[in-house]
Chains A and B, each alone.
Chain A
Amino acid sequence: MIIYMCIAIMFFVGLYGMMVKKNIIKMIIGVNIIGYAVNLFFIVLGYRKNGIAPIMVPGMEIKDFVQKAVNPLPQALVLTSIVIDLSIICFLASLSIRIYEKYGSFDFEKIRRLKG
């Protein structure tokens, strides 16, 4: 349970950074930390104590392998989710570059003030 608690703390630190900070880059960092926490949560749900990686080695009995290996399904889903996270970060970074070109600042308050 303490593991789940640590992951929840990480998630809420990211959420705080995303909602409260005024700098756009800090907001992107918050999104990134939330993504880490969620990925880690899925992998921890599929973990077995003293488990081995779900890769079959020649000379291993299949019964033994199924008894020992960790759950491969969350790993496959997280593999997709990590790459999608990267593309989201890429899109947000290009958006912030565009905002900087237009307004000359990463600060949300200044941008709102310049708008009028």
Chain B
Amino acid sequence: MEIDFGFHVFLLFMMIIGSFVAVFSKKLISSLVSLGTVGMLLSIYFLILGAPDIAITQLVVEVLTLIILLSAIIDRDVTADMTSSKVYGFLLIFILIISFLTFLSYSYFIFPEFGKANMRVGEKYLYLAPEKLKSANCVTAIVLDFRGYDTIGEATVIFTAIIGVMVLVRKKGRKDE
């Protein structure tokens, strides 16, 4: 399947517009909806870049994020005033532009060109997963076998986050109020 280079740029521009609206809009609900748009476009773009597993995960996670944030604000204060805090001001924008130019020079000199990946480790995994492990899907082979310790660490992080949420939102056993 051949995909035009212009289509990549089009999808990325749509995502940039969505994130601008999400950061700069006045109502919180409209900014949440445009955040959802960015997530869905990202899911489509993952599918085009040849990553179907991540596209599915991104879709599910996007819907869950939207539901959690909406339930956080739904019967509370839904207007955000446009005034930003004036503490940083000019200096912050200066720093942001400097770091953006640094990243741009890195992307010109150091990163591989778009479409030419650095396959030093990935090639070995692509050989080993169908031959040795008899696994058709290389991504699940890496997640569950080659880098299984990473997955254990991920489970630990999620467990810790759930404990934190339970401590924060419980009603029973609070001392104050």
Binding site for B on A (CB under 8 A): 1-10, 12-17, 19-23, 25-26, 28-30, 32-33, 36, 39-40, 43-57, 62, 65-66, 69-73, 75-80, 82-91, 93-98, 100, 105-109
Known contacts A51-B50, A62-B127; is-contact A100 B136 (Cβ 8 Å): no
The 11 listed contacts between A and B (C-beta, < 8 Å) are: A20-B92, A23-B28, A25-B32, A26-B28, A32-B65, A56-B137, A66-B123, A71-B119, A82-B58, A84-B158, A93-B69
Task: Give B176's nearest chain A residue, CB to CB.
Answer: A102
Closest partner residue, chain B, to A63 (CB atom): B127
Kindly state the separation between the CA atoms of A10 and B123 in the bound complex, as whole angstroms: 30
Structural contact, A20 and B104, CB atoms closer than 8 A: no
| CB contact between A25 and one of B69, B83, B113 (< 8 Å): that residue | B69
Contact of A12 with B142 at beta-carbon distance under 8 Å, contacts A43-B46, A84-B158, A93-B69 already known? no
Whether B117 and A47, one on each chain, are in contact in the complex, defined by CB atoms closer than 8 angstroms, is yes
Cβ–Cβ contact B122 & A46, under 8 A = yes
Pairwise interchain contact A4-B84, C-beta atoms closer than 8 A? no
Which residue of chain A is the closest to B165 with respect to CB atoms?
A: A94
Cβ B122 vs Cβ A53 within 8 A: no
Q: Which residues of B contact A (CB under 8 A)?
A: 1-3, 8-9, 12-13, 15-16, 19-20, 22-23, 28, 31-32, 35, 38-39, 42, 45-46, 49-54, 57-58, 61, 64-65, 68-69, 72-73, 76-77, 80-81, 83-85, 88, 92, 96, 99-100, 103-104, 107-108, 111-119, 121-123, 125-127, 129-131, 136-139, 142-143, 147, 150-151, 154, 157-158, 161-162, 164-165, 168-169
Query: Could you tell me the distance between the alpha carbons of A70 and B50 in the complex, rounded to whole angstroms?
Result: 7
- Tell me the smallest distance from the CB of A34 to a CB of chain B, in Å: 10
Interchain CB contact under 8 A, B111 and A70: no
Give the contacting residue for A75; candidates B51, B80, B116; CB below 8 A.
B51
A10-B19, A86-B64 known; A32 vs B165 contact (CB < 8 Å)? no
Asked, given contacts A29-B22, A33-B22, A80-B143, whether A89 binds B68 with beta carbons under 8 Å apart, the answer is yes
Q: How far is the CB of A16 from chain B (nearest CB, A)?
A: 7
Chain A residues with CB under 8 A of B88: 19-20
Q: Which residues of B contact A15 (CB under 8 A)?
A: 96
Report the minimal beta-carbon distance from B6 to chain A, rounded to whole angstroms: 11
User: Which of chain B's residues have a CB closer than 8 A to the CB of A66?
Assistant: 123, 126-127
